[in-house]
Amino acid sequence: MDDTLDGLIRAGWQTVAIVSGHYAPAHEIELYEAAMRVMDDHPGVRVFAAAPLEPLSDDGLLDHAGQVETSLLMAIRPDLVHLGEFEKSGVVGEDPRNATAEEGERLLYLGLEAWVAWMGSSVKELTHWYGVRFDAHQPFVDAYYKGSWEDANLAWWADWST
């Protein structure tokens, strides 16, 4: 991520959005850290990194293969949703069988509005955002981080899989 961001900055980008397509706390934290490093190293550059619905500031919307993510996918790629093959393993959040395309469309619209608003933020506002998000992830860090983000994610997934 650092190399990609450095390349974008060298190419003249001053504002960068990183939309994580995969929600996992350690991955989000790593993206926040990369964004902050770039903003620290390149004054004036703004980098906003988050999961798709994270800018809505409702952590209940941050799931993995749950109702929210499935609703989003039903809205944009319904051909990829096969709820008849549902297994609880890997689901973080509410039951995906309750998902609807209508809910996905509503959330996509709200999420896009929030992304647009955040992309106009100052470096100071973005830095504050990352502080809030680090605080929100602190229980995850305390419970799972032992020196490796990947190991933290694996331990977190193991808890969700049981």
User: pLDDT tens across 44-71, in order?
Assistant: 999 999 999 999 999 999 998 899 999 9
pTM of the model: 0.90
**DSSP H/E element including 50:** strand 46-50
Over range 91-119, report the average pLDDT: 95
CA-angle at 138, arms to 140 and 45, nearest 5°: 115
Residue 21: band (very low, low, confident or very high) from pLDDT cuts 50, 70, 90: confident
**DSSP H/E element including 142:** helix 123-144
Q: Which residue has the higher pLDDT, 41 or 90?
A: 41
Cα gap 13→153, rounded to integer Å: 31
- In this predicted structure, the answer to whether residue 162 has a pLDDT above a threshold of 70 is no
